[in-house]
């Protein structure tokens, strides 16, 4: 009796269901590296927030926190991270199709919150800006929520109006009116930085969605003139801009450019490998808002150029991954998901660039936090919500590529 081989040379062997499952299982259910990079940035941020805020209870401005001694901001940041992870897990379970349906309602709801901030008695004033709503335990900043909602709304609008993207009146103007109203509310707070980020999100998604290139260039030029006019017509913004151009002039260094000059001093002290964790001098009441807007300067002083480059590399990886996930979603005909993923990449990228540019003296001083790392409840929570949506898009991409159903 001839020997029967279990296979034939030059032909494909039959694949058993078990072999098929083993092959499919090689693709992970979700993007684990993205999760780990996000957690790494948040944990590094918590360490640096603790280091940057350790002396703040000694300041009269933070006298109310002295009962917590030096761990007040550390404990709060740890609590914010815990809330962020819970919120992220909850959002991850929401289907992208459901988010698309909810996008217009979320936009309207967030507009209501932005209006509520401006009502005396409801809005909380901090450092001269009325940007927060008090929930007793912590304050909520609606402008942060608007960033992720703007991503969803712009992506949904682009999908719904795809056939009108080359028309000014039906394609661009309705979106411009909506974002213009958001900008008006933000300028009344005032919060020019958040307005700039939201405009970049909306314009970026419209560009990726196929808006007419000529209209896009013209609109971009008009927006530049609008932002220029806002700076020119506002005395304190104008003075801050001119001080930025010459920060080391004595009067500027002691006033409008005080933060910038001390941020640059911090980077200079850090050199290549830094003065060591906890060794910053600038955080000792010299550099204002060292635990929020100027956290990167403390990183530069304590961890040096090496630490700053690591942070930049981690953010670059997240942004690149967002665009890769978006490209993959569009390739499998999930246009809303793809535009949302790329919109999240634009949001994180623009805000990170502005914060780092301000810290390094490349841009005029503006109050924007470093995503995932700076101290703040709403900012960290909303950053995690955005990245949870990105993870959900990647998860649905993997399910669909396996031939599964959502």
State the DSSP H helix or E strand holding residue 133, giving kind and residue range, or none if neither. strand 129-134
Question: Is the CA virtual torsion 91, 38, 380, 146 positive or negative?
Answer: negative
- pLDDT exceeds 70 at position 47: yes
What's the token pair of residue 248? Answer: 């080391």
What three-state secondary structure class fits 130? strand
User: Under a CB-based contact definition with an 8 Å cutoff, are residues 266 and 288 in contact?
Assistant: no
State the DSSP H helix or E strand holding residue 275, giving kind and residue range, or none if neither. none
Residue 30's pLDDT band (cuts 50, 70, 90): confident
Give the global pTM.
0.89
What's the token pair of residue 3? Answer: 């020997």
C-alpha 274/C-alpha 303 separation (Å) is 4
What three-state secondary structure class fits 367? coil
Q: What is the mean pLDDT of the chain?
A: 86
Residue-wise pLDDT for 299-349, tens only, equals 999 999 999 999 999 999 999 999 999 999 999 999 999 999 999 999 999
- pLDDT exceeds 50 at position 8: no
The number of beta carbons lying within 10 Å of the beta carbon of residue 160 is 13
C-alpha 176/C-alpha 183 separation (Å) is 10
User: Under a CB-based contact definition with an 8 Å cutoff, are residues 265 and 282 in contact?
Assistant: yes
C-alpha 150/C-alpha 201 separation (Å) is 7
C-alpha 380/C-alpha 359 separation (Å) is 19
- pLDDT exceeds 80 at position 399: yes
């Amino acid at each position: 009796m001839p020997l029967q081989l279990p296979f034939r040379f030059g032909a494909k062997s039959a694949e058993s269901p078990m072999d098929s499952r083993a092959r499919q299982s090689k693709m992970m259910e979700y993007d684990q590296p993205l999760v780990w990079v996000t957690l790494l940035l948040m944990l590094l941020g918590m360490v640096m927030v603790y280091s940057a805020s350790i002396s703040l209870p000694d300041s009269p401005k933070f006298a109310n926190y002295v009962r917590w001694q030096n761990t007040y901001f550390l404990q709060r940041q740890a609590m914010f991270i815990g809330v962020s992870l819970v919120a992220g897990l909850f959002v991850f379970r929401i289907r992208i199709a459901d988010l698309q349906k909810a996008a217009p309602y979320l936009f309207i709801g967030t507009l209501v919150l932005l209006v509520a901030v401006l009502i005396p008695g409801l809005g909380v004033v901090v450092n001269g800006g009325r940007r927060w709503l008090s929930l007793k335990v912590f304050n909520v900043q609606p402008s942060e929520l608007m960033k992720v909602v703007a991503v969803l709304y712009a992506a949904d609008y682009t999908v719904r109006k795809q056939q009108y993207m080359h028309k000014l009146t039906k394609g661009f103007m309705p979106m411009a009116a909506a974002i213009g109203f958001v900008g008006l509310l933000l300028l009344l707070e005032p919060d020019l930085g958040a307005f700039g980020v939201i405009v970049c999100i909306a314009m970026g998604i419209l560009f990726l969605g196929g808006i007419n290139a000529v209209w896009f260039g013209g609109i971009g030029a008009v927006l530049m003139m609008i932002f220029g006019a806002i700076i020119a017509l506002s005395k304190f913004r104008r003075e801050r801009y001119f001080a930025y151009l010459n920060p080391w002039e004595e009067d500027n260094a002691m006033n409008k450019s005080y933060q910038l000059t001390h941020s640059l001093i911090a980077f200079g002290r850090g050199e290549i490998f830094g003065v060591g964790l906890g060794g910053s001098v600038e955080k000792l009441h010299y550099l204002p808002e060292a635990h929020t807007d100027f956290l990167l300067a403390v990183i530069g002083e304590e961890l040096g150029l090496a630490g700053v480059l690591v942070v930049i590399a981690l953010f670059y990886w997240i942004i690149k991954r967002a665009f890769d996930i978006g490209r993959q979603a569009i390739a499998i005909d999930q246009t809303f998901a793809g535009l949302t993923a790329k919109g999240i990449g634009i949001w994180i990228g623009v805000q990170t660039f502005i914060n780092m540019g301000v810290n390094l003296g490349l841009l005029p001083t503006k109050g924007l936090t470093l995503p995932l790392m700076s101290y703040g409840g709403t900012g960290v929570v909303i950053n995690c919500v955005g990245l949870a949506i990105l993870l959900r898009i990647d998860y649905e991409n993997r399910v669909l590529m396996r031939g599964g159903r959502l």
